[in-house]
Copies of this chain bind each other. A is one copy, B any other.
Amino acid sequence: MTRPDLSPTDRSTIKRGKNRAMTDRSALHDVLDAGLVCHLGVVVDGSPLVLPTGYGRDGDTLYLHGSTGARSLRAAADGVDVCVNVTVLDGVVYARSVFHHSMNYRSAVVHGRATLVTDDDEKLHGLRVLTEHLAPGSWGHARLPNRKELAATAVLALDLTEAAVKVRTGGPVDDEEDIGTVPAWAGVLPVRQVFGEPEPCHLQPEGTPVPGHVRRRAG
C-alpha cells in the first residue's frame, strides 16, 4: 500500500528548522520503531494533559493501550484530537557558545483522532503489535490475554496520515567568528539507551535460563 509523504496539513508542517524536517514516510516509521515510550497529549477540560504510554506500529497504524479507566486513554477514545510524540535522544551538542548548544534527536509528531478498537480480533492484533514493540518475542512466549483481560484493556488506533518528523544530527553549528577564537571544546557527546543484565523474578526456580528473545536484547 503506497501512502503519501508526510505533512499534508498546517499543524503537522514543521515551522522552525525546516532543514531538519524529513518528509518521507520511512523516516516516520524509523523513529516510531526506535522509541519505546510515546507521549500522548489530549485536551481535558480545556487544558493539555501529557502522559507517557506504550505503543506499537503496524504499517500506518499506531496502537496505544492502557487500562479502560485511565483518564488520558478515556479522553483520547472520545473521538477528540490527540497528539502523540516519540522522541529519541541521540546526543548532547557542545558548541563554542552557550547559545548554540543543542541536542541530536529524532522526533515524530502524530496528530489525529484515535479510535477505540472494539472488535476482539483487531484488539488482539493491536495488543500483539504493542507487546512485540515493548518486548519482542513475548507474544509467542507468555500467556496470551484471556477474555477478562481483553475486556479490561482499552486499545486505541491512530492513523499515521498527519505526521511530522524532525531530526538533528552532526556537530555544533557555531558562529564563524567563534571558531578558532573561543577556546571552548566543541563536539557531540552521544547518548543512547541500553539494556542491562536481565533480572529474573525471584518466584521462578533459580537458574531458570533467560530465553533468547530477552538475552539477545541485553546484548
Mark A residues whose CB is within 8 Å of B: 11, 15-16, 36-37, 39-52, 54, 67, 69-71, 81-85, 87, 89, 91-92, 94-99, 101, 103, 105, 107, 109, 111, 127, 131, 134-135, 138-139, 141-146, 149, 153, 171-172, 174, 178-180, 182, 184-204, 208-211, 214, 217-218
Docked CA distance A80–B19 (Å): 29
Interface contact A185-B199, CB-CB below 8 Å? no
- Per DSSP, chain A at the interface is mixed
Instruction: Please give, as numbers and ranges, the residues of chain B lying within 8 Å of A143 by CB-CB distance.
Output: 96-99, 178, 182, 184
Instruction: Please give, as numbers and ranges, the residues of chain B lying within 8 Å of A210 by CB-CB distance.
Output: 185, 187
Interface contact B50-A107, CB-CB below 8 Å? no
Instruction: Please give, as numbers and ranges, the residues of chain B lying within 8 Å of A51 by CB-CB distance.
Output: 85, 107, 109
Instruction: Please give, as numbers and ranges, the residues of chain B lying within 8 Å of A96 by CB-CB distance.
Output: 142-143
Interface contact B187-A142, CB-CB below 8 Å? no
Interface contact A47-B142, CB-CB below 8 Å? no
From B84, B99, B188, A149 is in contact (CB under 8 Å) with B99
Interface contact B50-A131, CB-CB below 8 Å? no
